[in-house]
Structure 1
Amino acid sequence: MTLFKNDIEAAVEIDCGTGWMVLYPRQKTEITPGAESIRIRLREDCSIASEVYIHAEARLLSCEICTSDLGPFNLQADKWLERERMSVALAEAQALLRKVRHDGTKQKEAVKQGSVWVLRASAFALLYMMLALGLSMIALLVAPGLLMKGYVAFCSLSAVGMWTVVHRPLQPVVQKYGTRIIHLGFWSAFLSLLLGPYMLFILVRCHKNDDILECMMEGMDITDFIPLCLIPVGLVIHGLVRRFNPKMAVNFYPDLLEQQAVQQAIENSIVFHGRVLEGRGRGCVCSWPGKYASAWDAMVRSSKQGNTSAAVVFLPEGSELFGLHDPIPDEPDLRDLNGACWCVSLYGERKPWGCKWWTRWIANIEEAVQQGAKLEVYFFQDLRGKGKAESFSTVGSEHLRREALQRLKDSEFQSSEVFKDAQASGLEELSKVKREDGSSQYSREKDRLFLGWLPAEDRQFLSASVGLGESQKAEVAWLERKGLSYEEVDVKKWLYM
């Protein structure tokens, strides 16, 4: 019995005369008795192929043939794997660099915002203490009976003020013990700090009296604690300000200040509003496949440095304009479009990330056209000209159809015999590490299996959709709707920059 073993880190297809079968890494199969040759090809790239003839002696003896033993084929497969590893390594390096840049920007913003807050808080605390001390002196000289009421009011206002700044330092405790423990501890400490000095003051005043206890009871005045009403009033104001006036609240609450620092870091390092440069006939990036993160970073850096004209827009989650929507203008040439905002035309339904980016993109395109720019649409690597929508009027419905098929992939397909058989045959042996386009050997094989599992009509629809990102399909369809010419460009020119 002769066995064939796939000992390379990629899936192959072999044919021993009975048809092609997939062999995943570290898997074996029996060669059909009597087979005189084996045809083999790389699953990821069928152009890497070879045919191996089996000697008569090998067919009579028990032996094992390995993929790595097939000289010419193994050399080509090794080159493909080396390119794959390089792409993965570059993607990991770019992701690390992106994280370092973002964290650095976030830290700078946090330090900057924190310094401003500390200065404001220190100035406010100083003025507050000076005011409290001044009022205490006045009360002591003019109205000694109000001194204790003033002390309780001071403690109450201080508690409300402290409650606004404890959110950040107490977050680890909240996560571990819950908010009830925090509330209990904070207000217990408040009562101790309030009643302790209060009772001490009365004790000092009564220490020469023969009946100290009776003197203290007479010295305590329930009306001294009326200023405690400032606490619920202050906390209500505190909640209303945080809820309804976030711009003002940022000046007082450290936790909100941290959020603003993160948002500002996103605005400075990730958000891109486009930058159309002057120059008739100059190339202008008007559509970009976002899944190539490292290439996107290179293009954005080049644009910010004034070297690349770009009309593309990116407003990620956490940015100021994320989630905002814009209505479709009431213009004659747009009255065939439906929906309260652009989302319906772009995605078939209202989306949480909004469509503000779209109106910004249109404005950039109009500016580029006025400048006489040469519009450039970037397609997936080696898929130039592929993946376009039928028309702008079908972009939304096509998007919904792809979403429905994706849900099918995540549900029914996962339970199908096709997927289970692939798992049993070694599918999980494929690498799940992502390369520059965000895919891995595992994810691409899963996509191939899913396409093969789908009915022919859906398979053809999804296959024809590959080449442009979801937003790109709308962008290109819009350019064609407006009759704007553009150049089709392969994104690989940016992949190793």
Structure 2
Amino acid sequence: MAVVSVGNDLQTPIEVKLRRGDWQVVYPQRSWDVDVSDVGATSVEIRLRENPALKGSCKVTDGSSELWASVDFETFSREAKGRDRAEARELGREGKRREEAQMRTGKMITEAATQKRSEQCWKRVPIFIGPCFALLILSVAIPPGSALGAKVLAILAAVSGWSFISLSVAYGWPRQVYDPDSVWGYYNVSVRFGLRLLGFLSLALLVLITVQHALQGFPRTAAIVWGAPVYYVFIIVAVRVFCPQTTQAAQEHFRKEFQRLREQQREEAQREIGNRTIRFEGKVVCERGRPCVASWPGKYAGAWDSLVSQSRSGQVSAAVVFLPEGTDDYGQCDSIPEAEGLPGTCWCTPLYGEQKPWGCRWFTKWRQNIETAVESGAELEVYYFQNHVGKGKVESFDTAGDDNLHREKVNKKQSDFEDSPEFEQALDAGLGNLSKEPHGDGSSQYSREARRLFLASLSQTEREYLATAEGLGNSQKAEVAWLEKKGYAYWEVDVSTWLPGEGVENYVPASAEPQPKMCSRQEDDSPMSLSTVPLRPFDYNLQAECCVELATVVHVEGPNAV
């Protein structure tokens, strides 16, 4: 007996078996070991789990009991490595796009929050400084008529003057670079300069009132004016020494209050940015024959961003609507007109079968956009998941809600499955080695494999039901059903027409006459080059699209019927 080992050094799961055995799943960084009686007569078959059509085989020789997926299966190995390279590029693009989008959004939120602090600073600072500074000037300008009057004026001048000087020292003079996240917002530099100037003016006015009172026979008021700092210091030291907990509590209170205000400003800014940038109510270009996006699979976030950007600039006509959480209309519902004759108090019932947290206001806006597009003679377009054109529809708009409830009921079983011993076994077998980085459709190798395992655990009926539902998003199913209910024609389009082309990689041997490759693993120092062939320009007529004319039904019989 000998042991044959097949190691998976790819980034994707594979399935391997002996010619007469059963397929075994091998996750990345794991291997499959099997005992064989005759090594020389053993043949190992291999295929990609995500694409079973990509397969290969290798006859084991006496010196090749250890095989590697990326090396020893010739054409399969080369194509599988090419897929790994392509996936790495896609993950890189998607990761960069998400990072840039997050940075742009974060920057806009920060700027909006800073703008709010700036506006509040512009409103509040003059309210505080104006009356106090006016009081200081009046205290200096009014001549003392008596000793009591001189003392009162000196006290008012000392309180207001030294308050400004304290603010100037505390906030105006510390060396601090421009910080828009400060309490002063965009006016940080201006306020600090103003506080410095205010401190100098206050000091000058205190000197002036001291001289005036001395010349008018009230020199003792100088003790009040210039003794105030001593009183301030004495009070501060006394509080810190005898009431340290009170001081700390006050500081903590002000810190928390400032933090609360900043968080509140950021939340308000985030809501405003969401309403201005993320929220999308569609933009229909009223032009006869102009294509108009009527339905879109939301899981393709990158393509969605491109669609929204081009629609806002007038390049693309779009009737689709997106009202995400945090925007004004999120969670809002609209009643169903009696003329529609549909059950439910709002559109959530026919759309989803029950009330949903996000509401159904979006559907009202979407219907209005669709009517505008139809009246202008636009050609409606429904975009499907990649390679799923025409799939995933529900029977009718009347059954869309019940269908959604049934689909949700089946899908909820996945959370229970992921707590099952079967799923734990998959984790022990290396499921966790799969990448969790999201692709352009939001899925990852890990999530797709977990989904495959879940589907395999279902009954055949449930598995087939979910398979037939694949192709359109949940809300899309109701949108398409509504178009068919109204009798509107539309084009069915693959969403890949909006996705970046990957290109083609061809393996070029090191020499014009390639040498036969042995199945055994060996070190090969010969150079390998990869040539990239760009995709041909997109041809709209060659894509998997079909025009669905619902107003006219053509029935064909005979040998030429399709």
Q: Does the TM-score normalized on the shorter chain lie above 0.5?
A: yes
- The answer to whether the 8 Å contact 2:57/2:73 transfers is no
State the shift of 1:255 in Å.
Answer: 5.4
Match of 1:467 among 461, 468, 471: 471
Which residue is equivalent to 1:493?
497
Q: CA deviation at 1:295?
A: 0.6
* Mapping 1:92-491, distance limit 5 Å: 92-126=95-129, 129=132, 256-331=264-339, 334-335=340-341, 337-411=342-416, 413-491=417-495
In the TM superposition, residue 424 of structure 1 has moved relative to its aligned partner by: 2.3
Is the CA contact 2:110–2:266 (under 8 Å) kept in the aligned structure 1? no
Match of 1:187 in 2: none
Summarize deviations over 1:143-200 as a string: whole Å, max 9, x none.
Answer: x9xx9xxx9xxxxxxxxxxxxxxxx999xxxxxxxxxxxxxxxxxxxxxxxxxxxxxx
RMSD over aligned CA atoms reads: 3.2
1:465/1:129 CA distance change after superposition, 3 Å: farther
Give the distance between the partners of 2:26 and 2:312, measured in 1 at CA: 47
| TM-score, normalising length: structure 2 | 0.64
Output the CA distance in 2 between the equivalents of 1:83 and 1:47.
18
Quote the offset at 1:285 in angstroms. 0.6
How far 1:135 moved relative to its partner?
12
For residue 281 of structure 1, what is the amino acid of its counterpart?
G
Amino acid at match of 1:11: P
Query: Which residue does 1:87 correspond to in 2?
Result: 90
CA contact (8 A) 2:434 2:445 kept: yes
Match in the other structure for 1:37: 43
Give the match's secondary structure for 2:381.
strand
SS in 1 for 2:453: helix
Output one character per residue of 1:279-304: Cα deviation in whole Å (capped at 9) or x when no partner.
11110011111111111111111111
Distance 2:400 2:11 in 1: 39
Q: Distance in 2 between matches of 1:265 and 1:49?
A: 49
Q: Given that residues 117 and 254 in structure 1 are in contact (C-alpha distance below 8 angstroms), is that contact kept between their aligned partners in structure 2?
A: no
Q: Which amino acid aligns with 1:71?
A: E
8 Å Cα contact 1:418-1:453 kept in structure 2? no
**What do the CA deviations read for 1:23-74 (whole angstroms, capped 9, x no partner)?**
111222234525632221111111211122234x35xxx8211112212111
Give, in angstroms, the shift of residue 380 of structure 1: 0.9
Aligned length: 393
Output the CA distance in 2 between the equivalents of 1:258 and 1:100. Answer: 15
Q: Compare relative contact order (CA 8 Å, sep 6+) and give the higher one, 1 or 2.
A: 1
- Does the C-alpha gap of structure 1 residues 360 and 395 become closer, same or farther in structure 2, counting only changes over 3 Å? same
Specify the structure having the higher radius of gyration (Cα). Answer: 2
Ranges in structure 1 where 5+ consecutive residues have no aligned partner: 152-167, 171-203, 205-252
* Cα drift, residue 132 of structure 1: 8.5
TM-score by length of 1: 0.72
Specify the alignment match of 2:23 in structure 1. Answer: 20
Give the 3 Å change call, closer, same or farther, for CA 110–351 of structure 1 in structure 2. Answer: same
Q: Distance in 2 between matches of 1:342 and 1:363?
A: 14
Report the 3-state secondary structure (helix = DSSP H, G, I; strand = E; otherwise coil) of the residue aligned with 1:279: coil
Q: 1:305-357, CA deviations, whole angstroms, 9 ceiling, x for partnerless residues? A: 110000111111111111111111221xx21x222211122222111111111
Partner of 1:63: 65
CA 1:134 to 1:355, structure 2 compared with 1: closer, same or farther past 3 Å? farther
User: Is it true that 1:77 corresponds to 2:110 in the alignment?
Assistant: no
- Distance in 2 separating the partners of 1:303 and 1:104: 23
Question: Percent identity between the aligned chains?
Answer: 40
- Deviation of 1:406 after TM superposition, in Å, equals 2.9
Q: Deviation string for 1:259-292 (max 9, x for gaps)?
A: 3222111122211111001211110011111111
On the 8 A contact 1:385/1:467 being kept in 2, the answer is: yes
State whether residues 391 and 469 of structure 2, in contact with CA within 8 Å, keep that contact through their aligned partners in structure 1: yes
With 437-446 and 62-71 compared, the bigger mean Cα shift is at 62-71
Task: For 2:333 and 2:324, locate their aligned partners in 1 and report how far apart those are by CA, in whole Å.
Answer: 14
Which structure 2 segments of 5+ residues have no match?
Answer: 157-180, 184-219, 221-260, 502-562
Asked whether the 8 Å contact 1:344–1:350 carries over to 2, the reply is: yes
Q: Which moved more, 1:270-279 or 1:32-41?
A: 32-41
Matching residue of 1:49: 55
Given that residues 290 and 378 in structure 2 are in contact (C-alpha distance below 8 angstroms), is that contact kept between their aligned partners in structure 1? yes
